[in-house]
């Protein structure tokens, strides 16, 4: 598909609305991307035409819904290049996926085992592992970062030992946009026999992810950052690991046979999918992947890099503005502050101008503590944004500075 920004923007009805009397400039894509009409139509079609429970019914609607749901799982498998659709567990999102794995490792760790996270993590890739350590007596270690917002790789190498059982790192920092060198992390972790989980929530919308080429053990992502609906996501796990982990929840669908004496569990992937799932969400996740494939991830990455370059140059021309996260290898996220001005105040003024950004610690409080700041203003760009919208942001930041200084 030829990349045509005008045609692409027409696919997103929300981009035509006004906020506070101004045209919406949506620059909060790292929190949630917007949804194209093609995915919205998919959701409407489900509830209008074949709304039914799946895997259980012999009637036509159930069979149609089941087929669509499992086709979506196959699309997700192909998007991430998993070996089998059995390795794709549909969850409520990245946080659910991480907690599923953390719960499963409760029975596999013992006191004194070590697990490693990075200092760049979202809270959802910190707290579940802290809870796992509390349950098992395992020890949590942290890969430090430098002032550019990059992980210090030789420090990671020094943390690894025969005691290391698990390593957890995000592919892309949600707070700074840094793309981590996960290939190195995975390879080094495997050399000491540790399993690796990569939080791909911020990477999947922007980068081509091949879980087989990465040789990663677990990879997680959320549909709502990939032009899909909220409340649905995925966990990729190598089949051997998923067979080893116990079920996360008990209930319908995840069973093979149930008696009052003993229950046996279903095969993958259903072993981890108890209860009625988010059927419509799963199907719409597949539609969102179709849409991303239509645009082309290479086209997306190239265009978003243009936006990042343009925004970085323009923002740095503003006196007193500091950007946090200056790695050369990053996605289209810019976190910044104006000297002497609280980020919340900047975000409030930008909202009055119709500009949606995120302010605060972005669920990455250790990152903010490292820089000794309360938070940042975060502008995050998607392939449907324009340089003109970035110029509007620049003028808004200048106005905020003038009003608040």
The domain made up of 40-293 has a fold known as 3.40.640
**Exposure b/e, 173-190, CB count within 10 A at least 16 = b:** bbbbbbbbebeebbebbe
| Collapsed DSSP state (helix, strand, coil) of residue 375 | coil
Give catalytic residue positions: 363
As assigned by CATH, the class of the 5-30+297-400 domain is alpha beta
Alpha helices (H) along 81-229: 94-104, 127-136, 153-159, 182-191, 211-214
Residue 318 is predicted with a pLDDT of: 98
Pairing mode of beta strands 164-170, 218-222 = unpaired
Where do the structural domains in the chain lie, given as residue ranges?
A: 5-30+297-400, 40-293
Residue 301, Cβ density class (10 Å: 0-12 exposed, 13-18 middle, ≥19 buried)? middle
Residue 256 is predicted with a pLDDT of: 77
**Residue with token string 């760790």:** 109
Residue 110, Cβ density class (10 Å: 0-12 exposed, 13-18 middle, ≥19 buried)? exposed
**Exposure b/e, 317-349, CB count within 10 A at least 16 = b:** eeeebbbbbbbeebbbbbbbbbeebbbeebbeb
pTM of this structure:
0.96
Residue 1 is predicted with a pLDDT of: 58
Residue 2 is predicted with a pLDDT of: 74
Cβ-Cβ contacts under 8 Å for 247 (sequence gap 6 or more): 254, 265, 271, 272, 274
Residue 262 is predicted with a pLDDT of: 81
Rounded-to-integer distance, Cα 283 and Cα 290, Å: 11
Residue 140 is predicted with a pLDDT of: 97
Residue 251 is predicted with a pLDDT of: 77
CA 394 from centroid of its chain's CA atoms: 27
Count of CA atoms in the C-beta half-sphere (13 A) of 18? 3
Among 321, 331, 385, residue whose Cα is nearest residue 357? 385
- Walking along the chain (405 residues) 10 residues at a time, the average pLDDT comes out as 90 98 98 98 98 91 96 98 98 96 95 97 91 96 97 96 97 97 98 98 97 98 98 98 90 76 81 92 98 96 97 98 97 97 97 97 92 96 98 98 95
Q: Are 139 and 113 in contact (CB under 8 A)?
A: yes
């Amino acid at each position: 598909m030829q990349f045509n920004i005008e045609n692409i923007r027409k696919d997103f009805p929300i981009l035509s609305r006004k906020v506070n009397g101004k045209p919406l400039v949506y620059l909060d894509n790292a929190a949630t991307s917007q949804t194209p009409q093609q995915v919205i139509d998919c959701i409407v079609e489900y509830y209008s035409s074949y709304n039914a429970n799946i895997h259980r019914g012999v009637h036509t609607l159930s069979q149609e819904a089941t087929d669509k749901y499992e086709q979506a799982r196959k699309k997700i498998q192909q998007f991430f290049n998993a070996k089998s659709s059995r390795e794709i567990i549909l969850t409520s999102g990245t946080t659910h996926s991480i907690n599923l794995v953390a719960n499963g490792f409760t029975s596999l760790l013992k006191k004194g085992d070590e697990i490693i996270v990075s200092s760049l993590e979202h809270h959802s890739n910190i707290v579940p592992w802290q809870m796992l350590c509390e349950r098992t007596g395992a020890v949590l270690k942290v890969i430090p970062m430098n002032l550019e917002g990059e992980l210090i790789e030789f420090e990671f190498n020094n943390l690894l030992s025969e005691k290391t059982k698990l390593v957890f790192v995000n592919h892309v920092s949600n707070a700074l946009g840094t793309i981590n060198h996960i290939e190195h992390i995975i390879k080094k972790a495997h050399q000491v026999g540790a399993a690796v989980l990569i939080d791909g929530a911020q990477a999947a919308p922007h980068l081509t992810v091949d879980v087989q080429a990465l040789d990663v053990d677990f990879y997680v992502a959320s549909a709502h950052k990939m032009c899909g609906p909220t409340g649905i996501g995925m966990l990729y796990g190598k089949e051997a690991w998923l067979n080893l982990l116990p079920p996360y929840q008990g209930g319908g669908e995840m069973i093979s046979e149930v008696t009052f004496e003993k229950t046996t569990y279903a095969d993958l992937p259903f072993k981890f999918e108890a209860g009625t799932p988010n059927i419509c969400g799963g199907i719409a996740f597949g539609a969102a992947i179709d849409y991303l494939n239509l645009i082309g991830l290479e086209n997306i990455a190239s265009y978003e890099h243009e936006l990042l370059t343009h925004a970085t140059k323009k923002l740095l021309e503003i006196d007193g503005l500091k950007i946090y996260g200056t790695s050369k290898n990053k996605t289209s996220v810019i976190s910044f502050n104006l000297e002497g001005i609280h980020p919340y105040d900047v975000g409030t003024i930008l909202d009055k101008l119709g500009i949606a950004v995120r302010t605060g610690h972005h669920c990455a409080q250790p990152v903010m503590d490292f820089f000794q700041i309360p938070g940042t203003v975060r502008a995050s760009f998607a392939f449907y944004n324009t340089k003109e919208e970035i110029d509007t942001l620049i003028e808004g930041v200048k106005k905020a500075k003038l009003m608040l200084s």
